[in-house]
Amino acid sequence: MKRILIIIPIIILTMGFSLFNNQSKEEKFWTWFSKHQETYYTEIENLEIRERIFNELSTELKKVHSDLVFEFSPIQENEIREFTVSAEGIKKLFPIVKNLLEKAPKIDKWKFNAFRQRVPGDDFEIQYGDFKIGYSDIYFRFQDGDYGKIGIELNIRDYNGEGQTQNAIYILLDGLIGEYDITMGLDWIEWVKLDESKIEELNPITSLRTLIDQKKND
């Protein structure tokens, strides 16, 4: 009887280890996340540990693919916190993001997103380093591109051509039309400094959302 009691735990542990090894890398990530989800739900705003727990999460996510990044939303009025996995607009990574999120578990108080989502509303601005920009600072004109896409010329107030400025604008576009639609709906982007005297000839950037949706439905 004593011999049986010793053997049974070993069998259970071995089976558990074997089952974990048989998991895909996506399933292993979600197993890890589920184990730590309470920490991420409650402690993201805790500056004393945020860097450490974000580094831990980044390490686990990079086991799925080294170029994936993540974002968290604040806790919303319905007590939901959102966790978003982004491909940073790299089209070849889109199937990897989709596959990962298709395997996401259902966890109370969490919503999981593939790609950066649209932000409701037409009045949005961000601070990116020392640079501040909003929807009201950007106008555009467009041309039809290939495969039902459009090409856009962005006319940006006080545009300086720096990478920081472009990164900030990409984040604004993610909020306006979503990461997926930026990549799949835009054929090309040109960047120019806004000529204030020609604003009447241009479209406010907020109208790009409607234009992209029309193209999707054509």
Give residue for tokens 């607009």.
Answer: 89
Distance of CA 41 to the CA centre of its chain: 17
Nearest alpha carbon to residue 158 among 122, 125, 198, 192: 192
pLDDT range class, residue 5, cuts 50, 70, 90: very low
Mean pLDDT of 32-48: 97
Mean of all residue pLDDT scores within the chain: 89
Q: Could you give the C-alpha distances from 66 to 47, 88, 103, 154, 157, in angstroms and in order?
A: 25, 12, 18, 31, 35
SS3 (DSSP) at 155: strand
pLDDT range class, residue 77, cuts 50, 70, 90: very high
Nearest alpha carbon to residue 164 among 133, 187, 136: 133
Mean pLDDT of 50-65: 97
